[in-house]
């Protein structure tokens, strides 16, 4: 089936006020596919945030579709009719492929608005911080915010980076930012610190995702995440779950591979750990994840796990490994939670 042509036929019927019931059903299915694909592939961090607040992807999709197909007092689908009437060229003259891209953009905008509502409802601090950042950047000379592959990017103006370069490692960025931010109060002062970090290096992109800036500000102001504490993270009981043990093992293996790569790329390759230390971290992560699979939890402390693979005392652990291991475990928990919630 040529979906572009089919979409044009449906929207033309809708614009003429004579859509068939089967056409509306088909448009609902078509729209659900677009929304679901967008959320899963482009908004993983937002899905995780929603999941942590009791909202799964099906809830989000249903809310977005319900708003898209909301009817007015005259029983008309006014949002869809407004879309067709707002096209830059008459519907009859637009090509099917151009119409598809326009409709796709329209649904993405609607989805992003819904995600913003969720974000605002459950994270008022983050919403306020992001609002302040946007308003402050609009008044400053050195920055700009732009969209790139559906991610909102904050970057140094006139220094758009080579797309082949990596972003600065978030953990390193946070450490440097927090050390320089001591005593600073205003949003402008904090943004200037980020500007200086970005501009005074050439090995990475001179840009950072806006969501990461919000997390940096929240970290500085002392807003803490409470969902994934070490003591309360457990995998679901597979005996009473739609996710069986084999599926959990597959998910955990995927996550372990990502974390292993992160250890060797971000720590070993950059000289922050030697090979023995990197391997010990890898083995520690693997053992903790295996405990999650086997028992649904891990009863040993992170230090006790790491001590099995590396000879070190508690002071050395706190100084050199504690922050790294806690960060890696937190990332593993987030990844596993996201896989379990979205099913991919």
Can you tell me whether residue 151 is helix, strand or coil?
Answer: strand
Q: How many whole angstroms separate alpha carbon 64 and alpha carbon 116?
A: 12
**By the 8 A CB rule, do 181 and 193 touch?**
yes
> Residue 236: how many CB atoms within 10 A of its CB?
12
Core vs surface per residue 139-151: b (16+ CB within 10 A) or e? eeebbbeeeeeee
pTM, entire model: 0.45
DSSP letter string over 232-252? G-----GGGSSS-HHHHHHHH
> If you count them, how many residues does the chain have?
344
> Residue 80: how many CB atoms within 10 A of its CB?
22
First to last CA, the chain: 26
**By the 8 A CB rule, do 212 and 157 touch?**
no
Q: What is the pLDDT along the chain (344 residues), one digit of tens a residue?
A: 466 788 889 888 888 888 888 888 899 988 998 888 888 877 777 777 777 666 778 888 888 888 888 876 677 888 888 888 888 888 888 888 888 888 888 898 888 878 877 776 677 777 788 888 888 888 887 777 776 654 567 777 766 655 667 777 777 888 889 889 888 878 899 999 998 898 888 888 888 888 788 888 888 877 544 333 344 455 544 444 444 556 677 778 888 888 888 888 778 877 788 889 999 999 999 888 888 777 666 778 888 889 889 888 888 888 888 888 888 888 888 777 766 554 43
Q: How many whole angstroms separate alpha carbon 120 and alpha carbon 82?
A: 26
Angle at 181 between CA 176 and CA 185, to 5 degrees: 160
């Amino acid at each position: 089936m040529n979906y572009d042509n089919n979409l044009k036929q449906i929207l033309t019927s809708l614009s003429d006020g004579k859509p068939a019931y089967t056409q509306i059903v088909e448009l609902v299915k078509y729209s659900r596919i677009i929304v679901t694909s967008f959320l899963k592939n482009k908004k993983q961090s937002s899905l995780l945030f929603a999941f942590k607040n009791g909202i799964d992807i099906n809830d989000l999709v249903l809310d977005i579709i319900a708003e898209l197909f909301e009817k007015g007092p005259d029983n008309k689908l006014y949002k869809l009719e407004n879309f067709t009437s707002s096209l830059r060229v008459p519907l009859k003259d637009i090509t099917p492929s151009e119409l598809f891209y326009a409709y796709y953009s329209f649904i993405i905008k609607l989805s992003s608005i819904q995600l913003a509502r969720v974000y605002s409802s459950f994270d008022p601090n983050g919403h306020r911080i992001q609002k302040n950042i946007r308003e402050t950047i609009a008044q400053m000379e050195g920055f700009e915010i732009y969209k790139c592959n559906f991610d909102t990017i904050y970057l140094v103006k006139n220094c758009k980076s080579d797309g082949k370069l990596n972003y600065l490692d978030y953990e390193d960025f946070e450490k440097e930012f927090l050390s320089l931010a001591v005593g600073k109060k205003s949003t402008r002062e904090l943004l200037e610190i980020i500007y200086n970090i970005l501009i005074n290096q050439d090995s990475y992109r001179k840009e950072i995702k806006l969501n990461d800036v919000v997390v940096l500000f929240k970290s500085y102001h002392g807003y803490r995440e409470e969902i994934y504490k070490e003591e309360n993270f457990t995998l679901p009981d597979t005996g009473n779950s739609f996710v069986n043990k084999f599926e959990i093992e597959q998910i955990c293996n995927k996550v372990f591979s990502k974390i292993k790569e992160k250890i060797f790329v971000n720590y070993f390759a950059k000289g922050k750990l030697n090979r023995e230390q990197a391997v010990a971290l890898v083995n520690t992560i693997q053992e903790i994840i295996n405990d999650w699979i086997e028992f649904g939890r891990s009863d040993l402390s992170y230090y006790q796990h790491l001590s099995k693979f590396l000879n070190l005392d508690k002071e050395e652990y706190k100084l050199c490994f504690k922050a790294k291991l806690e960060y890696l475990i937190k990332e593993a928990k987030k990844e596993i939670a996201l896989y379990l919630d979205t099913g991919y």
